[in-house]
Structure 1
Amino acid sequence: MDARGFLGQLSALLFSAACRAGSRHSNSLTPFRTLSETPFRRHSNSLTPFRGHPFGVSTTILSTGAEVMEAYAGLVEDAAIREQVMGMIREEYARTRRMLEAIWGAPLEERRPHIHRALSLRQPWLRVLHRQQIELLRTWRAQRKADGQADHLLPRLLLTVNAIAGGLRTTG
């Protein structure tokens, strides 16, 4: 997973935890039907740092896909560790998505149609970039392990980070 994906996941995890902590119903989303009914929403207008957070997190969730996460996870050689960590990420991703949809009162694709459409148009090209980055990471790791001479790949790796960020319209 690239740094952007990691930070996006971290943001989603923190948002999810904040929503659960603010609710007496920490294991159930059913009490919240719309954004206006959540404890988070009631207090968000008075807490300036949180005003745009549901928008940012929902954009991150829409721009993150299980296919991409699984591809990056494939770089982890130890299958037990890979499955343990990916299991936690999958669960938290699904939980965060469910909570956001409970807050918005509809699927994210319906609530954020312009973002969804823009990301859908970019996905084929982003998949190519992710595959290139994964292969470069695999090669870089192998060369570092073999002879420690992998620095010549860093400019290409950084270029893939910036290209993916550009495709997602985020910071590289």
Structure 2
Amino acid sequence: MAKHYIDTQSLGRGPQRLAGQARVADLSRLVSDLPAQGDLVVDWSVAGRADSAGRNFVLVQAQGSVVLQCQRCMKPFEWPLDISNEVEVVATEAELELDDDDVEGPDRIFCEGRLDALGLVEDELILSVPYVPRHEVCPGNQPDAAPEDEPPAKRESPFAVLGSLKKP
């Protein structure tokens, strides 16, 4: 897999942009515990810029899908991926700790020079995959539809038995 880098030290001289397409199967950290990915691809872009205060930012975007295994029915299914996240690139580890109370601000990453753009994309994709993936409704587990002319069956409240325990 070709390496794509953004030079974070030169972002003040002008924005940088890289884009491409990656096979999901080639993103080894993302797919290490996942089912076979087939020919799925992810379209990605990384754009670096500096703001007027001299802070460096990288916008990471990716679209595609990944095959996950449903934790209910244990069958594989495609999970859509659509990420867009801007991170601040800091030059010292001390800057990572600044303003920890600022929950509204961007995430920060430490990089002193060249930033592996595809590695950053893979990091963001890993963060976007659910911890416990599952279908909305598993195939084969769909409830049988009631006929339209029958009203739905009325269920008795599980607390109805408590009413009989009340003293008169």
TM category, shorter: under 0.3
Q: What TM-score comes out, normalization by structure 1 length?
A: 0.23
**Which structure carries more helix by proportion?**
1
Write 1 or 2 for the structure with the bigger share of strand: 2
Higher relative contact order (CA 8 A, sep 6+): 1
Larger radius of gyration: 2
